[in-house]
Amino acid sequence: MKQTQLTDKDALEQIISALEIIATTSPHQMYGVKNHQSEMIYYSKSYADFLGIEASAILGKATYSILYDAADIESIILDEDNSVMAGRKPVRFLKINRINGNLKPYVCIKSPLINKSTGNVIGILLQGLEISALNLNHEIIRSYLNFNKKHNENRELLPFLTRRERQVVFFFMNQLTSQEIADIIFKIEGKKISKSTIDSLFNDQLYIKFNVASRVALYQKLEELGYDKLIPSDVLTSTSTPLKIIHTF
């Protein structure tokens, strides 16, 4: 039997119809669809609710700029989308959005939508994953000091950490490598930092402060002390950056 040939427009409409059914049966799934011009043409209610916006507010746009601090965020998002479409394979991005004065991190998987009938890339599928869904179990708090105030009984166990150390600990607990940490700090601050600098910070500072001799031991110690539930909102800014590799320590 000959397979029906779908136009790019029909193929995109078929995908959106399928997602609408999924969104109805699994209301917590976060999906979005962009066309090949990076314009949002579908956005699930659960995704919008997660970010505290109306789904209609982002339709027709490449991104919802108010969620980010960077003035050039639209060009950053367009570059992301173009790379996904050109590469024709999924890419994971760490998103840190500013919502009501707080920072909310999550992972967004962008996958190219390809019409099998024509072989054309017709758009992008966005799938949002809460950090807790990845067993990272982070909770947004206002600052590291606020965490200390709520955990007075552990105050003596928590050493003072510099701004840079808090950043590195946060990304380390998200299982990023030294190179990925260096890359994301550059993306956030525009300040070039090398992998060796991050390695030195682990070896010469964090190992000593937490009395450990390896990253495995450091990860375990930080987890015991509750750093897996910390996001240093006083030292991070909203951003979007690719996560190409996730390593297990």
Locate the domains of the chain by residue range.
Answer: 8-131, 144-243
CATH topology of domain 8-131: Beta-Lactamase (3.30.450)
Mean pLDDT, residues 215-236: 78
More confident residue, 137 or 161: 161
pLDDT beyond 70 at 229: no
The predicted pLDDT at position 230 comes to 66
Ramachandran angles phi, psi of 54, nearest 5°: -90, 135
218: part of which helix (H) or strand (E)? helix 215-224
Give me the percent of the chain exceeding a pLDDT of 90: 49
- Number of continuous H segments (helices) and E segments (strands) in the chain: 9, 6
Position 96, amino acid: I
CATH 1.10.10 at 144-243, yes or no? yes
Ramachandran angles phi, psi of 233, nearest 5°: -65, -15
Per the CB < 8 A criterion, the answer to whether 84 and 110 are in contact is yes
Ramachandran angles phi, psi of 223, nearest 5°: -65, -40
The pLDDT tens digits for 22-77 are: 888 888 889 999 999 999 999 999 999 999 999 999 999 999 998 988 888 999 99
The predicted pLDDT at position 132 comes to 52
The answer to pTM > 0.85 is no
Mean pLDDT, residues 73-92: 94
Q: Left (φ > 0), alpha (ψ -120 to 50) or beta: where does 223 sit?
A: alpha
Using only C-alpha atoms, what is the Rg of the chain?
A: 20
Highest mean pLDDT among 12-16, 139-143, 152-156, 160-164: 12-16
pLDDT beyond 70 at 85: yes
CA distance 48 to 46: 5
pLDDT beyond 60 at 150: no
The predicted pLDDT at position 232 comes to 64
pLDDT beyond 50 at 148: no
Q: Where are the beta strands (DSSP E) in 49-203?
A: 91-99, 102-114, 121-130
CA distance 209 to 18: 52
